[in-house]
Structure 1
Amino acid sequence: MEFKLVKIGNQIWMADNLDVDTYRNGDPIPEVTDTDEWDRLTTGAWCYYNNDPEMGKLYGKLYNWYALVDPRGLAPEGFRIAGDNDWKLLLQTVGGHLTAGAILKSTELWKAPNDGATNEAGFNAKPGGLCDDDCSFMDRGSIGYWWTPAEESKKLAWSYIMEYDNAHVNRSYYEKKDGLSVRCLKA
């Protein structure tokens, strides 16, 4: 499988959200569309936004945090999941978290005004929204969320978010059961 890549500073990132349905070792990652089942999970799973495969073509898959840290490896061979330090370096490279969103966000698929978005860095950040812990879908078109493996607590993990109405990239935490986008870098 080939992936579109972009070099930003000394990092080589995937230029799209992750869209795989097997772990690195070939084991399948379950697609879960049932809200009760999604809420009970403490193992890896993915879904499409609104459980619609057409959304996957635009935004990639939404993964729960458990898929991210599964020892079988969510990142394809030769890649690794973007961690907290990777995101911090990316933001530093493109001028800091207050303006990085403009340089990193795609010029398509975001609600207006998509403040300052140029995608100058080629990162192609898209607003894939999220699937929350009870599998309710929200924020497609207005917010992009990307997991990191970093834990905040037993139930929460860190992610990075970009919004349609500003150029910021913020760090926040979400329930590990939530479905968020994932970005990888060359290992």
Structure 2
Amino acid sequence: MKNLFVLLVFVMLVACSDDESDLISRPDTKEISSSVLSSSIESSCSANSSSSVTPKSSSSQGDGGSHSSSSGQAPAAMTSSSVKSSSSLSEGYVDPSTVIEGTLIDSRDGQSYKTVKIGNQWWMAENLNYAFVGVPYSDGDYTSDSTSWCYNDSAEYCDKYGRLYTWAAAMDSAGLWSTNGMGCGYGKICFQKYPVRGICPEGWHLPDTTEFRTLFNDVGGSSSAGDMLKSVSGWNDDGNGSDSYSFAALPAGVYGEGSFKSEGISMAFWSSNNRLTEQTFTAYLNNANTSAALLILRPNFGFSVRCLKD
């Protein structure tokens, strides 16, 4: 049985308000939450770098999309073929054969990341693995000396999945790299300015919801972006994707309250947008869906980061 709600129950998805507005970094950014609610979640509602880009044409084929729903239901699994007819492709669809691959070097620690240009956007094609540690973290009774972690506290998982960051760490709330996300964190009113570099290498930034929506549309539309963006291996229960755009999204799971959950099942990428003080937008994929979604999740948990070139 596919564990569609494991991550979501664990993070206690917060979507109790009827107000769909988010505290935004750009005037044209507005997202309706995709509130994936089970009864248990509903009950919880009461409660510095250089980049060297070497063009390389990709021959991978396919299409895709995103899903965002205000219905209160999980993104429905696709039952039709993942290859869409030309009439059903989203506006702005990018042919996978036009994808360009490159490399980013983070001068802070010398790490190298694959990158990919999809349409007009240059994305990291691997999760960020910058070791943002030594910053005290607390969530109720739980305390830690870090705001980013390797899954299972094991370096091999950082090599595989990158690190898992709190939203405050992803946004660089301390203002170490820039001031556009300074002061943003769990339980704080945030006045971020676009673009938010956050924890990303110099010349790159944390995507906002508009930029994630552009990505989803570029790969074909709301219903199949998960398939187009997910890696071809690593996802449980035959939940692998086609990775038609060399984005290689991996099921890195989540960290929270001293536990690691959902490796192989799901992943979430932080955006730079929040709604209220305890609701933050993430791009979410899981093994049970070929779709992708923008969800509102709690900012005090650890999720993955994919940076976008300025």
Fold similarity call, TM over 0.5: yes
Specify the SS of the correspondent of 2:213: helix
The corresponding residue for 1:72 is 176
Q: Is the 8 A contact 1:21 1:30 kept in 2?
A: no
Count of matched residue pairs: 175
Is 1:186 paired with 2:309?
A: yes
Of 209, 224, 228, the match for 1:84: 209
Is 1:152 paired with 2:275?
A: yes
The corresponding residue for 1:13 is 123
Q: In the aligned structure 2, how far is the partner of 1:32 from the partner of 1:111?
A: 34
Tell me the CA shift for residue 3 of structure 1.
2.0
The corresponding residue for 1:103 is 228
Runs of at least 4 residues off by over 2 Å:
29-35
1:61-104 deviation per Cα after TM superposition (whole angstroms, max 9, x unaligned): 00000012222230111211122111000001011221011110
Is 1:131 paired with 2:255?
A: yes
Specify the SS of the correspondent of 2:251: coil
Task: Output the aligned Cα RMSD.
Answer: 2.1
Q: What is the TM-score normalised by the length of structure 2?
A: 0.53
The corresponding residue for 2:299 is 176
Q: In the aligned structure 2, how far is the partner of 1:13 from the partner of 1:46?
A: 21
Q: In the aligned structure 2, how far is the partner of 1:152 from the partner of 1:103?
A: 28
Q: In the aligned structure 1, how far is the partner of 2:276 from the partner of 2:258?
A: 21
The corresponding residue for 1:26 is none
Q: In the aligned structure 1, how far is the partner of 2:229 from the partner of 2:288?
A: 14
Q: In the aligned structure 1, how far is the partner of 2:135 from the partner of 2:230?
A: 27
Q: Is the 8 A contact 1:31 1:47 kept in 2?
A: no
Q: Summarize the Cα distance change of 1:32–1:56 in structure 2 as closer, same or farther, 3 Å threshold.
A: farther
Q: Is the 8 A contact 2:236 2:264 kept in 1?
A: yes
* Letter of the 2:272 counterpart: P
Q: What is the TM-score normalised by the length of structure 1?
A: 0.86
* Letter of the 2:248 counterpart: N
Q: Which runs of 5+ in 2 are unaligned?
A: 1-109, 178-198
Of 77, 100, 113, the match for 1:3: 113
Q: Summarize the Cα distance change of 1:31–1:127 in structure 2 as closer, same or farther, 3 Å threshold.
A: farther
Percent same amino acid among aligned pairs?
29
Tell me the CA shift for residue 176 of structure 1.
1.1
* Letter of the 1:183 counterpart: R
Q: Is the 8 A contact 1:30 1:46 kept in 2?
A: no
Q: Is the 8 A contact 1:33 1:51 kept in 2?
A: no
